[in-house]
Structure 1
């Protein structure tokens, strides 16, 4: 499955209250030439229904889940939904799968053994009446064990809140072939103070989540970096801010480190669809 070198990652393409505006925005993004439109799991809900809305609005872009929680979506339902959308829209749906955290596992009545749980989930996708092909699924892998599983049993990985240095390490673990599609938050604003304030407001909740905090610590950040909403060092490393040239440099850094594709999440101080930011970012679509 070819998803191009850049894509748009957007909760607004699921959450915005006006479906007509979502349809029009997705169609415009498709015209810009983005290789994929990524939508997050957001704790469950009808993510495949939301993916279908984007598939219906577009002609060329792949629609990817970034990511669907294995605890909130039974494998049989996921496989059935994937097969239905593949029949209707050809091979334009990429399933991003994630293990979430221990709370999600407990809520689903399971025990949080992420590696074993994901391995079993992939078994169920393989054994479904209409299996989900390995090349049409990726794993949200943040550590070497899940990365190795992703290499063996999926198209590759979609890591969240990572630096180009992480990308280089993931590529070394994956080898040359698999897809490596890191998420990259961006703020289209050249004012350092304002851009960092916007980035910090977005990043703070994630820093407070244990699994993301552990990932950032493994990437070489310190507890001090994670305090008070994140140090400037942390903000600058995991959020690309500035003008389009500066954001393009971060994308190139990921590609130079081995990324196949970079999924850009335009964050800002306001709500609604970030149409202005998407239009500013359009020259980076490829």
Structure 2
């Protein structure tokens, strides 16, 4: 279904430095390591300057946003930026958008009411000029997955287990892209792995879009209390040695995913490009 392989890298936009040379070197290395894509998280700006810099530094790497938050976006500027990138780098850019969360809506003075309706309107109005096959949406629940099927090239689920991929594939059908994000920590010490995972997961424990989904896959309120249980960590983060990493990622493919956007977790808590971790994961997967 896609021509950019099985594995890509997901990384927050804020982790990319302002230094254009560092951005170019990191992007080129990802391509050389064998990754087929890179996904920019954390709602990158509508000018899409970072995706453009990554595309310009590489020759085959596919770049996507995962995702631009509609509450923070000027749809007209975003559509114009997409046109620029698709013209300069045909077939190598996906515009991923999503309806965000209540705090992101509140930050711009909006009420988080009927977010799916808002998302559909954004796609059919502001992004009308963006071809369906070049846009994706963050989709977790059935109705949003149906919107992904009907209005876009497919879905970008985030923080979901392989069981979600099976449900998503059933709704999307066989001809839509399914690209889940998967957090990965390479390390066999359970205490260290789970401490790193909890640090990363903590902001999501207050967001119903995720917690409601996790309950569907067997977690309870106790699992979501405080910093989250071991069961939450093991549901959402693949960690361990090479065999465990390969098995955890393979489960998404077995459930129907087309491509995996790997978020490499680092023991270093500072915002940075985890290039050492990208290399270690590449050694395991390629």
TM-score bracket for this pair, using the shorter chain length = over 0.9
Over 3 Å counting, the alpha-carbon distance change for 1:13 and 1:54 in structure 2 is farther
CA distance in 2, matches of 1:15, 1:165: 31
**Match in the other structure for 1:171:** 169
CA distance in 1, matches of 2:16, 2:32: 22
Over 3 Å counting, the alpha-carbon distance change for 1:187 and 1:210 in structure 2 is same
The structural deviation recorded for 1:215 is: 2.4
Structure 1: give runs of 5+ residues left out of the alignment: none
Over 3 Å counting, the alpha-carbon distance change for 1:261 and 1:47 in structure 2 is farther
Secondary structure of 2:183's aligned partner = strand
The structural deviation recorded for 1:91 is: 1.9
Q: Describe how 1:105-116 pairs up with structure 2 within 5 A.
A: 105-111=105-111, 112-116=113-117
Question: For each residue in 1:137-165, what CA deviation from the matched residue of structure 2 results, as whole angstroms up to 9, or x when unmatched?
Answer: 11101100000011011011001111011
Among 203, 228, 231, the residue aligned to 2:229: 231
CA distance in 2, matches of 1:12, 1:140: 16
CA distance in 2, matches of 1:132, 1:100: 20
CA contact (8 A) 1:13 1:39 kept: no
CA contact (8 A) 2:10 2:38 kept: yes
CA distance in 1, matches of 2:218, 2:75: 35
CA contact (8 A) 1:101 1:211 kept: yes
CA distance in 2, matches of 1:64, 1:219: 28
**Match in the other structure for 1:95:** 95
CA distance in 1, matches of 2:244, 2:47: 33
The structural deviation recorded for 1:283 is: 3.6
CA contact (8 A) 2:194 2:233 kept: yes
Normalised by the size of structure 1, how large is the TM-score?
0.92
Where do 4+ consecutive residues of structure 1 move more than 6 Å? Answer: none
Structure 2: give runs of 5+ residues left out of the alignment: none
The answer as to 2:49 corresponding to 1:49 is yes
Over 3 Å counting, the alpha-carbon distance change for 1:187 and 1:9 in structure 2 is same
The structural deviation recorded for 1:118 is: 1.1
**Match in the other structure for 1:65:** 65
CA distance in 1, matches of 2:8, 2:47: 18
CA contact (8 A) 1:12 1:273 kept: no
**Match in the other structure for 2:256:** 258
CA distance in 2, matches of 1:47, 1:257: 35
CA RMSD of aligned residues (A): 1.9
CA contact (8 A) 2:179 2:258 kept: yes
CA distance in 2, matches of 1:143, 1:6: 24
Over 3 Å counting, the alpha-carbon distance change for 1:14 and 1:197 in structure 2 is closer
Question: For each residue in 1:254-281, what CA deviation from the matched residue of structure 2 results, as whole angstroms up to 9, or x when unmatched?
Answer: 0000001111000112132211111111
**Match in the other structure for 2:185:** 187
**Match in the other structure for 2:159:** 161
The answer as to 2:82 corresponding to 1:86 is no
CA contact (8 A) 1:23 1:53 kept: yes
Secondary structure of 2:24's aligned partner = helix
